[in-house]
């Protein structure tokens, strides 16, 4: 196509040149070569003129396009020759968005570029600048952990807070939580929210959260006056009911855990039966345990904490020992047998969880001294740090280092009965002479202080200041429900039996509403 146009142009130019030279009576041989084509020296001026003329035409077209072109987002107002006959003032009146004052075509807020050619007036309205949408930032959270020997102030200081800010935050929360109660590895959650006051999102401190327990947590925020404020809040939870059972193969703990019963529920189960059952000597292979328990879950169904055991049945050597949780009319809560007798006695038989009886009461070859010596207590082997419980209500008569016993506590329960705990790794916080303790309260942790070959608890029962064999000691029974209280308990026990049976027949882990 291009070659065709080129040849056509050359033929036209040659024809024109020949015609011109014929008009001026020039001989043909002067203007053409042997092939009959016009000599190049005569064509060149015409080519130059053609190029100049073409450039002129293109320039005119470009100027005209500038005159009439309108930006895609611009508004054009035509004047005298507009076919609609709409003047600029009328256009502004019809579209108030072109001016802050309707009908005023000369408003200072309107940017217009006007060019006039002949009797055509064109106004080019500059498009309004587009508003940039602010990008909304999601809150972000930092999780800090308390290191060994560290403090909350130090953790906040390392996180970027000034020493003054860290001090004020700690001071604000002390009314709700003692920072000294923080444990190594405990998490401190810091949340940051975006502030858009400057036109863009800038992260600023929003809240500090420290959990006191699985449900309660301390929240520290900054108020409108820039002061730190503390409050205690709760995670919204829902109680769900679950059931489980286990055939005991070796130990109650291991078999229950294998059957899917939560570890915390097993610990509570052992505690409930610890007044009546010696878990080291009474439990046999083939025994069975059933349990009905609550579980606290968040809105997503995730377990937050274990609730209470409502019903349990332990079958030991063919004998059933069912117990039920019951709240009396005066608000006291305890576990009762089916006849309304409290399982709680003056002393627990086993003041420690998950321990192995390593040495009983009586004569034995002393593991350190190497000769026969009366062993005036019971030894429970357990990992270092295992909690030790007060066997009964009472007052601390001794707390501290005591001869070959190492770290030692002695509790006076009444005028004739005492219990002693030896070789502890350390005493629980607040344990001192004169301190009142409740049955089941943690008083210390298993260790191997004093004359000891390994971590264990040496437990003694003293009657009239003489060590006696706990297994042979006759202890008073717990309270017994009577009258209307017993009738209400019976109704409650029947309901728990029905709930357990219903859950077991459907699914071992079915929640109730």
Domain at 440, CATH number: 2.70.70.10
Tell me the CA distances in angstroms from 18 to 11, 28, 41, 46, one per residue in order.
11, 8, 13, 12
Task: Give the end of a domain, one of 200, 234, 268.
Answer: 234
> Do 255 and 268 reside in the same domain of the chain?
yes
| Beta carbons of 214 and 304 less than 8 angstroms apart | yes
For residue 24, the enclosing domain spans: 2-68
Domains held by the chain: number: 5
Phi, psi angles (nearest 5°) of residue 321: -130, 85
Neighbours of 362 (CB within 10 A): 9
pLDDT by residue for the chain (513 residues), tens only, comes to: 656 666 676 676 666 666 665 655 555 555 666 666 666 666 677 677 777 777 766 665 555 444 444 444 444 433 334 444 444 444 444 444 444 444 444 444 444 434 444 444 444 555 666 666 666 778 888 898 888 888 888 889 888 888 899 899 999 988 898 888 888 888 999 998 888 776 777 888 889 999 988 889 999 998 888 889 999 999 888 999 999 999 988 888 888 988 999 988 988 888 888 777 777 667 888 899 999 999 999 888 888 888 899 999 999 888 899 999 999 998 889 999 999 999 887 788 778 876 666 666 666 555 555 555 677 788 888 888 889 999 888 999 999 999 889 999 999 988 888 999 999 999 999 999 999 998 889 999 999 999 888 898 999 999 888 888 877 777 766 788 999 999 999 999 999 999 999 888 765 444 443
Positive or negative, the CA dihedral 24, 25, 26, 32 is positive
Residues 392 and 460 in one domain: yes
Contacts of 97 (CB under 8 A, 6+ apart): none
Both 189 and 261 in one domain: the answer is no
Domain boundary among 336, 367, 387: 336
For 177-203, letters b (16+ CB in 10 Å) and e give: bebeebeeeeebebbbebeeeeeebee
Q: What is the pTM of this model?
A: 0.53
The terminus-to-terminus CA distance of the chain in angstroms comes to 86
Q: Based on the fold, state whether residues 368 and 307 are members of the same structural domain.
A: no
Q: Are residues 421 and 401 in the same domain?
A: yes
- Is 54 domain-assigned? yes
């Amino acid at each position: 196509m291009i070659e065709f146009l080129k040849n056509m142009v050359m033929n036209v130019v040659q024809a024109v040149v020949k015609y011109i030279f014929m008009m001026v009576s020039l001989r043909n041989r002067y203007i053409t070569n042997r092939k009959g084509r016009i000599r190049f020296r005569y064509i060149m001026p015409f080519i130059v003129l053609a190029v100049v003329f073409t450039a002129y035409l293109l320039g005119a077209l470009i100027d005209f396009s500038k005159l009439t072109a309108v930006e895609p987002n611009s508004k054009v107002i035509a004047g005298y020759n507009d076919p609609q006959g709409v003047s600029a003032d009328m256009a502004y009146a019809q579209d108030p968005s072109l001016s802050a004052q309707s009908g005023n075509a000369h408003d200072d807020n309107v940017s217009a570029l006007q060019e006039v050619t002949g009797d055509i007036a064109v106004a080019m309205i500059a498009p309004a600048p587009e508003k940039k949408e602010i990008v909304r930032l999601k809150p972000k959270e930092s999780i800090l952990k308390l290191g060994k020997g560290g403090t909350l102030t130090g953790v906040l200081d390392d996180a970027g807070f000034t020493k003054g800010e860290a001090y004020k935050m700690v001071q604000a929360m002390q009314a709700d939580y003692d920072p000294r109660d923080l444990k190594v590895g405990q998490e401190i959650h810091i949340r940051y929210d975006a502030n858009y006051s400057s036109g863009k999102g800038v992260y600023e401190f929003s809240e500090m959260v420290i959990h006191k327990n699985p449900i309660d947590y301390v929240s520290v925020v900054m108020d409108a006056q820039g002061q730190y404020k503390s409050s205690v809040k709760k995670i919204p939870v829902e109680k769900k009911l679950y059931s489980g059972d286990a055939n005991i193969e070796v130990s109650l703990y291991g078999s229950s855990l294998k059957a899917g019963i939560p570890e915390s529920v097993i610990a509570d189960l052992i505690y409930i039966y610890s007044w009546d059952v010696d878990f080291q000597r009474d439990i046999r292979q083939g025994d069975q345990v059933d349990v009905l328990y609550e579980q606290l879950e968040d809105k997503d169904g995730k377990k937050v904490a274990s609730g209470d055991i409502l019903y349990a049945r332990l079958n030991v050597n063919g004998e059933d020992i069912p117990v039920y949780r019951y709240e009396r009319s005066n608000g006291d809560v305890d576990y009762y047998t089916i006849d309304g007798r409290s399982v709680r006695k003056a002393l627990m038989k086993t003041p420690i969880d998950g321990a192995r009886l390593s040495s009983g009461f009586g004569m034995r070859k002393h593991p350190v001294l190497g000769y026969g010596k009366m062993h005036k207590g019971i030894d429970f082997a357990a990992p270092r740090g295992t909690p030790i419980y007060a066997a009964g209500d009472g007052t601390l008569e001794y707390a501290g280092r005591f001869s070959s016993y190492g770290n030692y506590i002695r509790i006076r329960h009444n005028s004739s009965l005492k219990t002693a705990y030896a070789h502890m790794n350390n005493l629980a916080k607040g344990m001192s002479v004169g301190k009142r303790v409740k049955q089941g309260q943690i008083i210390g942790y298993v260790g191997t202080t004093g004359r000891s070959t390994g971590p264990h608890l040496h437990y003694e029962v003293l009657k009239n200041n003489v060590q006696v064999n706990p297994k042979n000691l006759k202890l008073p029974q717990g309270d017994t429900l009577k009258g209307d209280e017993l009738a209400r308990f019976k109704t409650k026990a029947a309901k728990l039996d029905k709930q357990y049976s219903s859950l077991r027949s459907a699914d071992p882990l079915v929640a109730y509403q």
